[in-house]
Amino acid sequence: MIDFRFRRLRLNENLRRMTRRTQLSVDHFIYPLFVVPGEKVRTPIVSMPGVFQVSIDQVVREVQEVCELKIPAVLLFGQPTQKDVFGSQAYDDHGIVQRAIREIKSHLLPVVVISDVCLCAYTTHGHCGLVDKNQILNDETCEVLAKVALSHAKGGVDMVAPSDMMDGRVGFIRHVLDQQGFSNLPILSYAAKFASSFYGPFREAQHSTPQFGDRKSYQLDPANASEALREIEADIQEGADMVMVKPALPYLDILSRVRDITDIPLVAYQVSGEYVMIEAAAAKGYLDRERAILESLYAIRRAGADMIITYFAKEVAKILPRRG
Ligand code: PBG
């Protein structure tokens, strides 16, 4: 009988490093940024300790720090000066995100600027699409989303990321971008986005909580896995360049199954609720913060994610060189 001794290769840190199958590198991180109206604004987000809302004049400073830390990409979210039922500031060429993109690009900062394409922060009702008789309209919303994506493209964005979960919007956006001369602009699709309670702190920050009903008529049911795979396949067929699973940690099975069926670059979003769970538990002394952060990110990468959107990105970029 063989005497199994798995522990032989765990005996010291060098052996563990040599046999480690999953790597964490700053190359894999995307840092979300929240841009708000005003000047010299740098407001801590109460529901997300350590995360700030910044005005356009401050956004460059944030991006400079991101660049110094060698984080390759940021994901921009915006707050309009005024919301309306159509979310019209979302596709205003002088809207907040469009101006932030121009500002970052004018400083020639070496960063991939990704923009969130959605309506929920821009509509009075807080839904991700246009509304008629309390129903969220699909195809009409796709047309508006394509206008949003196009206005970001004109501002010089490097990648657009539709997060609304309307059917067919990736194909729609791709078509409009191609027609308008932006055939080189990639689309990161929030392909498998679940109707999750873990977005709570983000919605607080973005004032994007639906004013009636919920998002269950467009986001995926947390109980369904194979439906998520169909969403992923559909978005790839429609022309998505990268696909996302969101949230991350409660959905590792989805990440792993997506990884099994496709080689397309796969992104996981470690969302606001996942972030605050670790922060809150660490603040109480219930968890070792640094270890919990790294473990959660290793788990997400191990499940199959190539890239991770995370509020911990700057933090991890500082931890990794120290840890080796
Ligand atoms: C908007 C959007 C949401 C998030 C990213 N884009 C919220 C939602 O769908 O309600 C959540 C991000 C987070 O929680 O960190 N469609």
Rounded Cα–Cα distance for residues 218 and 258 (Å): 20
Cβ(120)–Cβ(80) under 8 Å? no
174 or 2, greater pLDDT: 174
Handedness of CA 271, 272, 278, 281 (dihedral sign): negative
Is 17 part of a structural domain of the chain?
Answer: no
Q: Is 116 in the pocket of ligand 1 (CB under 6 A)?
A: yes
pLDDT tens-digit readout, 163-220: 999 999 999 999 999 999 999 999 999 999 999 999 999 998 888 999 999 999 999 9
Q: Is 271 in the pocket of ligand 1 (CB under 6 A)?
A: yes
CATH code of the domain containing 62: 3.20.20.70
Mean pLDDT of 143-163: 98
Is 15 part of a structural domain of the chain?
Answer: no
| Identified catalytic residue from 83, 133, 246, 284 | 246
Is 36 part of a structural domain of the chain?
Answer: yes
Q: Based on the structure, what is the number of domains in the chain?
A: 1
pLDDT tens-digit readout, 110-125: 999 999 999 999 999 9
b vs e for 234-251, b when ≥16 Cβ sit within 10 Å of the residue's Cβ?
bbbebbbbbbbbbbbbeb
Token digits of residue 224? 């369904």
Rg, Å, the chain Cα set: 20
Q: Is 141 in the pocket of ligand 1 (CB under 6 A)?
A: no
Is 196 part of a structural domain of the chain?
Answer: yes
Instruction: Look up 133 and say whether it is catalytic.
Output: no
Relative to beta strand 135-136, strand 29-35 is unpaired
pLDDT of residue 189: 98
Q: Which of 6, 34, 32 is nearest to 19 (CA)?
A: 6
290 CA to centre of ligand 1 in angstroms: 25
pLDDT of residue 1: 81
Q: Residue 280: which residues within 8 A CB-CB, separation 6 or more?
A: none
Which neighbouring-strand residues pair with 117? 162
Rounded Cα–Cα distance for residues 81 and 69 (Å): 31
pLDDT tens-digit readout, 36-80: 999 999 999 999 999 999 999 999 999 999 999 999 999 999 999
Q: Which residues form the domain of 260?
A: 24-323
Q: Residue 291: which residues within 8 A CB-CB, separation 6 or more?
A: none
Q: Ligand 1 pocket check: which of 208, 246, 308 to mutate, most ligand atoms within 8 Å of Cβ? A: 208
pLDDT of residue 179: 98
Is 9 part of a structural domain of the chain?
Answer: no
Instruction: Look up 216 and say whether it is catalytic.
Output: no
Give residue 323's pLDDT band: very low, low, confident or very high (50, 70, 90): confident
Q: What is the mean pLDDT of the chain?
A: 96
Q: Which atom of ligand 1 is nearest to the CA of 77?
A: 6
199 CA to centre of ligand 1 in angstroms: 6
- Neighbouring CB atoms inside 10 A of 204's CB total 15
List the helix and strand counts (H, then E) for the chain: 11, 12
Asked if the model's pLDDT at residue 2 lies above 90, the reply is no
pLDDT of residue 286: 98
Q: Residue 223: which residues within 8 A CB-CB, separation 6 or more?
A: none
Is 11 part of a structural domain of the chain?
Answer: no
Is 8 part of a structural domain of the chain?
Answer: no
Asked if the model's pLDDT at residue 278 lies above 80, the reply is yes
Which neighbouring-strand residues pair with 30? 73, 309
Helix (H), strand (E) at residue 11 = none
Is 2 part of a structural domain of the chain?
Answer: no
Asked if the model's pLDDT at residue 324 lies above 70, the reply is no
pLDDT of residue 287: 97
